[in-house]
Structure 1
Amino acid sequence: SLAAEFCLLALATALAAAAIGTLAARVFSERLLQGAGSLHPVALAACVLTGVAVTLGLGFLGVRRALSQKALPVLRNE
């Protein structure tokens, strides 16, 4: 379904962003600040869930017009 597709897309994107952001923060804190950074799993989970929610909301907002119309005119692009 459309919700499952948006959810998988959002989850994959959010997890990739979380991994890249965590790695960048660790490199920044160790090399530039010469200190050990700490990982906050609750904040990381909140960011991932917020990203999923925003992607779901914007995805449904984008297809709202197409879903509210009859299929034939939309498919014929009239």
Structure 2
Amino acid sequence: MQRTRYKFENSFGASVIYGPGSFGLELAVIRYNKDGSWDIDYSTDITDDVVGRLTPDELDNLLGRIQALDGGDNE
């Protein structure tokens, strides 16, 4: 299984997996804590769950939307 984690300056990021046991190319929105740990964030307007069966273009679009989120007091 391939796993990639993204971290943006707004304290959001994404965990992306692809391989056996996943729903194709799959993304979860994550939120980094000030100590560097992270949790899946189900409260964004992007999704309230993990998004699966993505095309590479859909993945790029979602990553751009995550990067544009307001990080609030976590930034």
How high is the TM-score relative to the length of structure 1?
A: 0.33
Q: Which has the higher helix share?
A: 1
Q: Which has the higher strand share?
A: 2
